[in-house]
Structure 1
Amino acid sequence: MSKPLEGVRVLDLSHVIAGPLASFYLAQMGAEVVKIEPPNGGEVMRTSKNPSEGDTPTAFVAMNAGKRSLALDIRTPEGAEMVRSLALTADVFIENFRPGVVARYGLDFESIKAIKPDIVYCSISGYGQTGEWSGRGAYDHVVQALTGMMMMSGEHPDAPPLKVGFPVIDVAVGMLGSLSIVSALHRRARDGAGQYIDASMVQASLMLMYPAASAFLTDGTEPRRIGNRGYTGSPAADTYPCLDGWLAVAANTPQQFRKLAATLGLEALCEDARALDLEAFNAPGRGFVIPRDAEYVIGRLRAAFASHKAADLETRLNAAGVPAARVRRLGEFLRETDGSDCVGLPDFRFSQQHEVRTRGLGFSCADDGGPSARGAEALGQSTQALLAEIGVGAEAVAALARAGVVRSAPAAPAASLTGKAAAIA
């Protein structure tokens, strides 16, 4: 079964998370991604404390499976020239250095466009390619601090800033980068025109906070810190302690609130004028629950939840039509869903020295050809084959390797998928 991006070649000079995740999407959708890395050790994500993983540790494989590895030093004239030669064969060029860095080596958009006018070129950075801050370095938690994300998390206005517990902005800019590249490829197929894409962590952060950012830009409304409460403001859209843990519940509408109240034995709240705006609560049509005394309602709910088990309420409330979930750790959720029918999740398994598993790309397509059949290559595994395409012979590659310009690793047996993924590939 064909994959949607078969026939597309990508030159990827990116490293760490954001850029490699963007090109990982393209690789898993069928593109040939050539990952260009420094010959002395490769990119930083190859670093591993587990010798058994070699230079393809789990974190690296998870974002680079299905790509080819070309190890050369773009800082040398020979290395940069070989990248330009390969660019003649490419459809997409990705880099995530600080603005201005790749221009030193003649690998910026204008230089690549001069030899490949229809190239789709994507630069990923912290602050974008223009502006006074564009030259600053950026890490996920720093951008969370800058853009207000840290101050949106936390229980009350005076609480310390609190970051999201994983590199959410890095992941988001990788997703948005891949979306922009696929859109540009579609335009190129239609109009024959290339494209320059400026994807930044700042832009991705604002998209993650899109409703709040739009509200402030439109009418100056500063977002409130709502902790673990739901976005609607309903007192029954919150996370409550139970006998055996915590339960997140979303009884946003009057209909949902009535079902929640019945489950908890709090039916009287639905007629309590102190608790709720009863006119809004009983009005025809759709709307959210509006409390009159939110602390009173929350106190009644908190006392009721505290006398029940979270796991039991999760089952009962969902059966009644009220969204609810017991708070789990990531590993607990993944163990629970592994091999069960409760959630339909892809199962990508990449074979290296060890099997690396992921849950796919965040979506499933009926006819996408399945996951890539290859894991991540060793550093420089495709160097000789790729340079042969541009007329660099084996002896010349060996000489370049001795000079430290390239690194050529021996070809390894093709890594393959195992288990469930093999069955659908």
Structure 2
Amino acid sequence: MIAMFVRVIPGQHRALLELLEEGRFDAVLSESAFTGVAPYVALARAERLPVLGLATTPVTLTSVDAAPFGAALPPGRGPLGHLRDRALTAAIRPGLTRPLRRAVDAVLAEIGAAPSRTDTFDFPYLCFDELFQLSVPALEYPRRELPDTVRFVGPLRAAPGSAHDTALPDWWSDLQDGRPVVHVTQGTIDNADPGRLIAPTLRALADEDVLVVATTGGRPVEELEREFGGPIPANARVAEFVSHDLLLPLCDAVVTNGGFGGVQRMLAHGLPLVVAGSTEDKPEVAARVAWAGCGRDLRTGKPRPSAIRRAMRDVLTTPSYRAQPGARHRDRRAPGCGGRHRRGAGRRGRGASGSPGGAGGAHRITGVAGVPVRTLSSAAPPRVTRCGSASGSRTRRPRAGRARGPSPSASRRRRAARPRRRARG
């Protein structure tokens, strides 16, 4: 991570300043992993342009309400669950962030910039003037620390009509033969080895009454054929690339390795997912899909065909997985970049223990009116300093939602005041 995100800071920062010297810009839009913007955004607001961020991963902000990013665990339930999350944060976060922060501060010193005021994982959420999160609140763990500068805007969309310029494969009409259509993809990054997910999926579904559409992410189809070690199953169709704008409306489910952008678009089309990812942020994406009730997390990047088959049968036959998992994508109150994040928006009601609301484990994407999460009063969040704030001002943070009804202590006092009935002999 140091080589990818830290050592590039000086070069990226120089390139940014050289571009800004042209003096014809009104703002800076930076992808959240473009760390070269860090020295610039740390300047006083009067000395720089507005800096907007674009987050292309799940939320990485440290929180008392969730396990640390990288653990790939949903928020704990009850006092023990909250204790687990805080213990994991205390145990994992320092060992992960301290080396990064030392490396960042050393690089910043080289270019004459002040030391960083935040951890690497918190930087996008505490330093940008506005941050566009390419997801929806219902697919993200509740965090009381999330500032009002974060806007959930849903997935990026292709320009209207651009997908129709793509040539369709000659088997395209097969998608209309009445069988459920299952798409399998390893995305565009972790796709060098089709034996991790695509080939096992073809084997898993070879005898199922479905049509499988596999895309290799631009890699030659011959690589998949060699990996498969024999003829491709009769119920499978393979291509290097097919536009998701054209394919996803015809699908019934997807097997994916959990690429963040792809998952957002799949859920926007209302598709249940089977997710198997183990690299980059994919385990965190998979955990959120399962937490939201939108699919199954196989918790591995190389699943067995039998596990894929069981999971696919489950998502195709269980109505709750298909109960409008993309409703929050399609029915955002403010499409595009218009909707500021509302704390608690899109969340189902949760008990004081943090247990999921709703009966039968129904997923959280169908909620129309969100309810703020109620968290343990003892879990006071740490004070967080906003980046670039010379005065050390603090981010505004909402009060933890109060549980309706009397407090447990009040209930105990009332019970103690009641006269005891004598036992009948």
TM-score by length of structure 2 reads 0.23
- Tell me which of the two structures has the higher relative contact order, counting C-alpha pairs closer than 8 angstroms and 6 or more residues apart: 1
- Relative to its length, the structure with more helix (as a share) is 1
TM-score by length of structure 1 reads 0.23
Work out which of the two has the higher radius of gyration on C-alpha atoms and give 1 or 2: 1
